[in-house]
Amino acid sequence: NAGVTQTPKFQVLKTGQSMTLQCAQDMNHEYMSWYRQDPGMGLRLIHYSVGAGITDQGEVPNGYNVSRSTTEDFPLRLLSAAPSQTSVYFCASSYPPIYEQYFGPGTRLTVT
């Protein structure tokens, strides 16, 4: 199994540009989520999904959209990038009731 994969690893955007961060898992996990990691603030939940077709907001959802059309994929969309979205983004998945969340390697995004 590849586990949780994320692409790209690094990305630089200009303010106002849009892009999609990709996340995929091959473990048939129902639960997937997106976090952002900022210095001194730990990880904060952006959006999550408990299964295909079901998504919900986390702690810091503004400026981000998600969809879950398949069990495997959970893309995160930035519609109009802002410098405040400069961060490292992690995708995670888990299969209840084990509750262990597996994290991807992260995408480092810089918005100038």
Among 31, 63, 67, 73, interactor with another protein by CB under 8 A = 31
| Least Å from the CB of residue 34 to another protein | 12
* Nearest CA-CA partner of 82 in 19, 38, 9, 23: 19
Is 27 a binding residue for another protein by CB under 8 A? The answer is: no
Is 111 a binding residue for another protein by CB under 8 A? The answer is: no
Among 17, 22, 58, 73, interactor with another protein by CB under 8 A = 58
Residue 78: CB atoms within 10 A of its CB come to: 20
Stretch that binds another protein, among 20-28, 50-58, 64-72, 78-86 (CB under 8 A): 50-58
Listed in sequence order, the residues at least 6 apart from 97 whose beta carbon sits closer than 8 Å to its beta carbon are none
Q: Are strands 10-13 and 107-111 parallel, antiparallel or unpaired?
A: parallel
